[in-house]
Structure 1
Amino acid sequence: MHRPPTAAEAEVAAELAAELAVVRPDLGPRFTAALPGARAAVLTRLWRALAHEPLPWIAGRERGAEGLTLRLRDGRRLHGPLSDPYATTAYVGQVRLDGVAYDDPARLTAALRVPHGDGFAVELGHSVASLALSRAGQPTAGVHSKEWPVHDWEWERRVVDGHPYHPNCRSRPGFTVAEELAYGPEHGPVVRLGLLPVPVAECLVSGEWPAELRDGRRLVLPVHPWQAAHVLKRTCEQGVSAHPLMSLRTLALPDGPHVKTALSTRLTSSVRDISVGSVAASAALSAFGEILAARSDGLLHVTRTLGAATANSPDLAAVLRESPAVHGGPGEHVVPVAALATTGLPDSPAWSADFARLCLTVGLRLLELGVALEAHGQNLLVVLDPSGAPLRLVYRDLADIRVGPARLAAAGIPLPDELPARIRTDEVTALRRKLFGSLICGALAATLGSGAHLAAALEAAVRDLPPGPDLTALRGEPLPVKALTLMRLSPGSPGDQWTSLPNPLTATTA
């Protein structure tokens, strides 16, 4: 295997292993053993991007019996297996660049010598090492107990590998090994949140800020310990213990609610903070969510925002939300869609069809009304009955939905003035991209794990859906998805960039 000496070869894994030898020497052998699998998992995600995203330095793609060949604009050729864009298992062990084999995504990216590739290669090195650490830290080597979790945070802990399709699935720059173990939900830690009093006059509050987080003329804001140490650079009063959820910055409090904290570091793609605008709009969005749920025939709940506050800074803010678990009845389980693959339920074609039917019924109904949910596996949860049958959906975090004023007006739903301008659009393509890209190419595809399984579930589900232009588009057009790698390689182009994937309903994925 060719390993050229490049800047990408910063030996991130070796650095992590050295830290691990100090803080958790018992994990060292398991970390080393997990590296090849982590490398293949990230390489598989990267190859998906190379095979399907509109990267400007790729001149063409040639499918053949022996795989897929990419023609680069500089004349080189990159060859690998045919790509199933919906697969979630690691199936790319190596690719060949002008005949030289690469099994490491960071070294491959450095060897491609593309604009902004060096920085991305470093991120991929972090993603591999961090993913290996996440897998090494599992108490049963990644095998989940047949007993289903009792607490909501226990479900979230099961999502070990992070984003199912992003090459930066586990990249956590700025985190030491000790911090990953202390704050990463897959490691099962208890996080002690800090409490920072701020004069009320310096704060913006939306909704009802609870009395227990008030101190006379001061608001008390929960602060993530990483944020306190690295961004605020100050010591906070000792606060409550909480369990981190899969977004890492959102944690489950002991009495049930969830708190989203500011965490100003890049996780996967984005720097995580809480904008002043999102705090200002949170109460209006929460009320709007209740209106949407009321129009879903009982198939959708939207978690309420209990209160939000900011000290007029995205680096110092918090949002309190009700736990999705409050929408489950006796004996029912409220499960993040990202965790469904750990249950074994998607192995059943009948269950998969029922789940796809439920998701499409709700998603298309809201889209008809004028609301496109960003229904990926983190935002979307499903309520299962005691046997595991999908009953209804729960949606959390309305901050990135898209709202079509014209469709809303036609449905007789008033558009709240407080909704941010950035989420309003009557462009049909933008609305469909938001829903289809997150729900079909994200939540459903990752749950079902392959193009063939996704196709079967969609084919069974769409037969029972009412006709309409959005369903016609779903059945007959290529499916939109965020071009995640293109976005990481385009630092001068803010906002989402998109590509199209073969539609399982009309095309055969390899």
Structure 2
Amino acid sequence: MHRPSAAEARFAAELAVVHPGLTARYAAELPGARAAVLTRLWRGLTHEPLPWITARRAGGEGLALRLSDGRRLHGPHPDPYATAPYVTVVRLDQVAYDDPARLMTDLGVPHGADLAVELADSVASLALSRSGQPARPGKWPTSDWEWEQRIVDGHPYHPNCRSRPGFSVAEQLAYGPEHRPLVRLGSVPVPVDECLVTGAWPSQMRDGGRLLLPVHPWQAEHVLKRPVTEGPGAHPLMSLRTLALADGPQHVKTALSARLTSSVRDISGYSISMSATLSEFAETLSPRMDGLLHFTRTLGAVTAGSPDLAAVVRESPQVYGDRVLPVAALATTDLPNSPVWLAEFARLALTAGLRLLELGVALEAHGQNLLVVLSESNAPLGLVYRDLADIRISPARLARHGIPVPPLSGRVVTDDETTLRRKLFGSLVAGALAATAGSATALRGALEIAVRDLPRTPDLAALLEQPLPAKALTLMRLSPGTPGDQWTALPNPLL
């Protein structure tokens, strides 16, 4: 019998108090949640440059990893693009593990104990997320936030896919989009001369000479630790900290100083200062995309001198159509099961992404930032991109195409080819397209068709001829002293 982790037991105890009707379902979901997280962890162990893994050898029964201390880790043949949980057990020497947290603990590697805590939280939180879902998804949503709330399992490849340290069970039920709550935001009045403001801050969030900053209730209680005025009701989106206002079409990105998957989710002063310029620049690019790609506008952004008290207001992607959904939500439909549809979608995404890269802009086009516009017959018509904070812009490429270089500085500006290609290929191909396909075989079939008629640019040659870059998500969590992204190379399905 499986021995529950401390996190699993804590979740069960809290759930018995705040929502006893879910306790049986939660317990039933735990084995599947362990397999889902173990599958993501196995992807990292088998494909990332972890310094304590010295050799990987494939055999008839799976893959064996040799550790630097001489031990061996055995598991199934890995598919780095699989989204279904196919890893239920791995063996460290002769001991079988079905619990990713216990495996990470017993590996005994540097910083492994901290990651084990996060993995245990990810398992328990994922089981909780699954426990409240209806037996059937129901009819297709009509609003953007309903689509986002259908996404239950979080990041398709991160072992911390549902890790939300610092959130109680009651708070997850109250704020997690997969639980479909209506969240009452707080409102903090701040004198305008104490704020950095870019764009046009909405009039309904002003009070004379003060700006009314929307604040997530978790942030108000745990970080600001001060009372706030009751603000508007809102529906949480898949990023948790971004919400769709219930009484208006805007989306509000709030500061939420909690670690979700890899990063602490505050809003930096740098991103506030760049937001209006990035939004205006993106608008100038849309006419060059022939209707293939649109950008949601940033309406206004504010910080009151701290990344813990800041907010961004954006327009809803639904301004570009009634049938607009995040690419991550495609997995909740039957559309990716059609090889023809998947190839058409891949062609659309690659055409838009590579054209923009050639012009000088690399998108962080993962399944959360990238949305697809569908026709009434569900054909992919176009794309919408939101959240410009993590794109990369190449002044040299822009100049080559006669595009005025925007007045930007800092991390978004680079001419480095590797950085630009990693940004797009790692998020779009190894991320959004791979997760939509769900396996290396399906991804290969879609890409083989999608690339046939694309312009033969140097960027496309790199995509066709080199391994696929992907963020080394497990390595990053095991390297707390190393800032920024770390990368690995995944097998290219087209090679």
Q: Which amino acid aligns with 1:421?
A: G
Q: 2:117 aligns with which of 119, 122, 125?
A: 122
Structure 1 partner of 2:145: 153
Does 2:105 correspond to 1:113?
no
Q: 2:446 aligns with which of 442, 457, 468?
A: 457
Q: Which amino acid aligns with 1:393?
A: L
Matches for 1:295-334 after TM superposition, within 5 Å: 295-328=288-321, 332-334=322-324
Give the secondary structure class of the aligned counterpart of 1:354: helix
Q: Give the drift of 1:423.
A: 1.1
Structure 1 partner of 2:488: 499
Q: Give the drift of 1:139.
A: 2.5
CA distance in 2, matches of 1:55, 1:351: 37
Give the secondary structure class of the aligned counterpart of 1:393: strand
Structure 2: give runs of 5+ residues left out of the alignment.
Answer: none
Q: Give the drift of 1:420.
A: 3.1
Greater shift after overlay, 494-503 or 212-221? 212-221
- Could you list the runs of 4 or more consecutive aligned residues of structure 1 that deviate by over 6 angstroms after TM superposition? none
Q: 2:215 aligns with which of 204, 208, 223?
A: 223
Structure 1 partner of 2:64: 69
Matches for 1:222-301 after TM superposition, within 5 Å: 222-254=214-246, 255-301=248-294
Matches for 1:110-509 after TM superposition, within 5 Å: 110-140=105-135, 143-145=136-138, 147-254=139-246, 255-328=248-321, 332-417=322-407, 419-506=408-495
Deviations 1:97-146 (A, max 9, x none): 01110000000000000000000000000000000000001122xx312x
CA distance in 2, matches of 1:484, 1:175: 22
Deviations 1:277-328 (A, max 9, x none): 1111110000111112121111111000000111011000110000001111
Q: CA 1:63/1:420 → structure 2, altered by over 3 Å: closer, same or farther?
A: same
Q: Give the drift of 1:2.
A: 8.7
CA distance in 1, matches of 2:417, 2:92: 40
Q: CA 1:486/1:443 → structure 2, altered by over 3 Å: closer, same or farther?
A: same
Give the secondary structure class of the aligned counterpart of 2:243: strand
Give the secondary structure class of the aligned counterpart of 2:449: helix
Give the secondary structure class of the aligned counterpart of 1:491: coil
Give the secondary structure class of the aligned counterpart of 2:197: strand
Equivalent residues of 1:249, 1:260 under 8 A apart: yes
Deviations 1:225-274 (A, max 9, x none): 00000000011111110000000000001211000000000001000011
Structure 2 partner of 1:6: none
Q: Give the drift of 1:437.
A: 0.2
Structure 1: give runs of 5+ residues left out of the alignment.
Answer: 4-8
CA distance in 1, matches of 2:95, 2:285: 54
Q: CA 1:345/1:10 → structure 2, altered by over 3 Å: closer, same or farther?
A: closer
CA distance in 2, matches of 1:406, 1:16: 52
Equivalent residues of 1:2, 1:101 under 8 A apart: no
Structure 2 partner of 1:60: 55
Q: Give the drift of 1:24.
A: 0.2
Equivalent residues of 1:190, 1:244 under 8 A apart: yes
Q: Which amino acid aligns with 1:232?
A: L
Equivalent residues of 1:2, 1:102 under 8 A apart: no
Q: Which amino acid aligns with 2:479?
A: S
Give the secondary structure class of the aligned counterpart of 2:305: coil
Q: Which amino acid aligns with 2:69?
A: D
Equivalent residues of 1:2, 1:100 under 8 A apart: no
Deviations 1:75-114 (A, max 9, x none): 0000000000000000001000011100000000000000
Instruction: Output the aligned Cα RMSD.
Output: 1.0
